[in-house]
């Protein structure tokens, strides 16, 4: 319905009643925090090259919508600052996934956290910083300890629970196939929230919510297609 990691997607989500959003954030060669999932530019801009090796003036000229549909030709890559303004204007919450290019975990974690702290200074509702990279989360904690953090998991790894605790995380965000009732109970007992991704089927959403999962990350724009916690019996 809209190209990923663009203001068009955020606006469309808001039009459908969503008040919490997730995005992937990288750092340009000249230190600007911007939204993009992939390491390279090809899939979402059609251009060659590595995203974090380009300066922001170079990135800002790219078309992040043409690949998706004719309606979104000319859609620019947004900065984290653009998304912050959207969140303030709409009263939305934000989950910022720190998405470093391999080998740049510490720099990306530090600069994304510093920029988020600067943008949200004085705000009562702070963004969540999440990442699969423990070194990025450690750098984020050092740069902006006041911002909440969550460990992202796509598969079980030794010591994941201890890592989340040692990083001072407030929650864990995991692939929905990893979640069951005992996992949710263990994390809740430790005072951590549980979120699951990417949940696009109603039956999966209902099962997760019944187990007590605190939040779902979805690509489904129609909220009526997924159950609300209040609808469960």
Nearest to 51 by CA among 110, 3, 125, 104: 104
| Rounded Cα–Cα distance for residues 2 and 71 (Å) | 9
For residues 69 and 104, the answer to whether their CB atoms sit within 8 Å is no
| Rounded Cα–Cα distance for residues 78 and 117 (Å) | 18
According to the model, what pLDDT value does residue 227 have?
A: 78
| Rounded Cα–Cα distance for residues 168 and 61 (Å) | 38
Query: Could you identify the residue written with the tokens 């549909």?
Result: 69
For residues 125 and 54, the answer to whether their CB atoms sit within 8 Å is no
According to the model, what pLDDT value does residue 233 have?
A: 57
Report residues of the chain scoring pLDDT below 70. Answer: 224, 229-233
For residues 123 and 88, the answer to whether their CB atoms sit within 8 Å is yes
According to the model, what pLDDT value does residue 224 have?
A: 62
| Rounded Cα–Cα distance for residues 162 and 153 (Å) | 13
Alpha helices (H) in 76-226, listed in sequence order:
80-90, 105-119, 134-143, 160-166, 181-189, 202-211
How much is the pTM?
0.95
């Amino acid at each position: 319905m809209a190209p990923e990691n663009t203001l068009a997607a955020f606006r469309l989500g808001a039009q459908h009643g969503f008040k919490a959003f997730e995005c992937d954030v990288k750092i340009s060669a000249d230190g600007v925090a911007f939204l993009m999932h992939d390491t390279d530019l090809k899939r979402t801009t059609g251009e060659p090259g590595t995203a974090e090796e380009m300066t922001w003036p170079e990135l800002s000229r790219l078309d992040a919508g043409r690949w998706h549909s004719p309606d979104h030709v000319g859609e620019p890559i947004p900065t984290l600052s653009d998304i912050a303004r959207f969140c303030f204007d709409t009263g939305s919450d934000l989950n910022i996934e720190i998405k470093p290019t391999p080998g740049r975990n510490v720099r990306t974690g530090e600069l994304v956290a510093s920029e988020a702290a600067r943008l949200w200074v004085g705000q009562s509702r702070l963004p969540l910083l999440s990442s699969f990279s423990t070194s990025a989360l450690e750098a984020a904690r050092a740069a902006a300890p006041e911002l909440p953090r969550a460990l992202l998991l796509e598969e079980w790894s030794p010591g994941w629970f201890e890592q989340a605790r040692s990083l001072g995380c407030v929650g864990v965000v995991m692939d929905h196939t990893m979640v069951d009732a005992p996992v949710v109970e263990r994390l809740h007992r430790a005072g951590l929230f549980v979120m699951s991704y990417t949940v696009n089927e109603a039956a999966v959403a209902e099962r997760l919510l019944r187990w007590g999962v605190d939040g779902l990350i979805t690509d489904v724009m129609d909220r009526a297609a997924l159950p609300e916690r209040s609808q469960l019996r």
